[in-house]
Chain A
């Protein structure tokens, strides 16, 4: 239930935005989740439904997963992240702290561990819509 902590982070942030923007009600929140983080969408949706209250009571949360793409900083080769190539323990470690991928994943072309996450690394709130 590490997803619960991520859901709380969304709720805290959206609540603050609603206060700052003086919204009476938040109608919709768009959240993007990086594939690298391997968030269980059903679990995070369940947690958000349990946690939303007040101005967020009727909020619709739309969550979309963004494919993770990595690029080697040494040879510039780019490739897609594939969870199935990792053993379960490593996949779980990356799920908690995606940057530890640098301990386990190598560039398939040159073997370097100096790569960047081009996209699909983490979760972010793309937009918050509401009624003033």
Chain B
């Protein structure tokens, strides 16, 4: 029994130059917001950008960006709709934003199906918004998208840091490239993650501040790009563009 979707994925991603998975050990650290703002900034800089929400059971990039009433075009496969110059793929086009509970194999089958039929065309960057942890999504991305590189998002919480370290270990064992770490929700009351990363030999990309106003900007990309977080992300994105991650 041969699964033809696996070979198809290789072809579908053949014109994508860089694939970045935005991941974390724990949930609630701001991965989806960082992935969305990263995609917005890259698109604003003129790069051809795609964004896929791989958190199938709890998708949120569409809410962060304000994607509404869009559906992929059916053209020898499916072509993701373009929103703010970003080609966006999300399972919500198909689940109609209803509750979707998936066990491991069902997640993997959804992942293979969507990746096998989605025609991205030429992209400079494809951003993967990952669910948290080292689970089916992480393992499938590593297995089927060999050129993927990871950005790890953490807060300074020892709970978040402990799991981020496990994720880094898992990626290092599998020899998967890590672009670096972003510390999110930084405040004057939190200690720096940077000091704790020396032993991990992982690039520290920068910090984004805790912003109580951020929530009000969800759904409005113009407002989102004016937030303190987005301004700080600009600097981080410049760093991401220059980090060399070796195979």
A residues at B contact (CB < 8 Å) = 1-2, 4-6, 8-10, 12-13, 16-17, 89-90, 93-94, 96-100, 102-104, 113-114, 121-126, 128
Instruction: Please report the C-alpha to C-alpha distance between residue A104 and residue B99 in the assembled complex, in whole angstroms.
Output: 9
Known A-B contacts: A96-B113, A97-B113. Give 18 more (CB < 8 A).
A1-B76, A2-B78, A5-B77, A5-B78, A5-B117, A6-B117, A12-B4, A12-B8, A13-B2, A16-B7, A17-B2, A89-B96, A93-B93, A99-B100, A103-B99, A113-B99, A124-B4, A126-B1
Contacts of A89 in B (CB 8 A): 96
Contacts of B11 in A (CB 8 A): 8, 12
Q: Are A9 and B5 in contact (CB under 8 A)?
A: yes
Q: Are A100 and B101 in contact (CB under 8 A)?
A: no
Contacts of A113 in B (CB 8 A): 99, 101
Contacts of B100 in A (CB 8 A): 99-100, 102-103
Stretch at the interface among B37-45, B102-110, B212-220: B102-110
What 1/0 flags go to B1-20 for Cβ under 8 Å of A? 11111111011000000000
B95 at the interface (CB under 8 A from A): yes
Contacts of A17 in B (CB 8 A): 2
What are 6 A-to-B residue pairs whose CB atoms are below 8 Å? A1-B74, A93-B95, A97-B91, A97-B110, A97-B113, A103-B95
Q: Are B113 and A98 in contact (CB under 8 A)?
A: yes
Once A98-B109, A99-B113, A102-B106 are accepted as A-B contacts, the answer to whether A5 and B4 lie under 8 Å apart by CB is no
Q: Are B117 and A1 in contact (CB under 8 A)?
A: no
Contacts of A100 in B (CB 8 A): 91, 94-95, 100, 110
Q: Are B75 and A1 in contact (CB under 8 A)?
A: yes
Give the shortest distance, in Å, between A113 (CB) and chain B (any CB).
Answer: 6
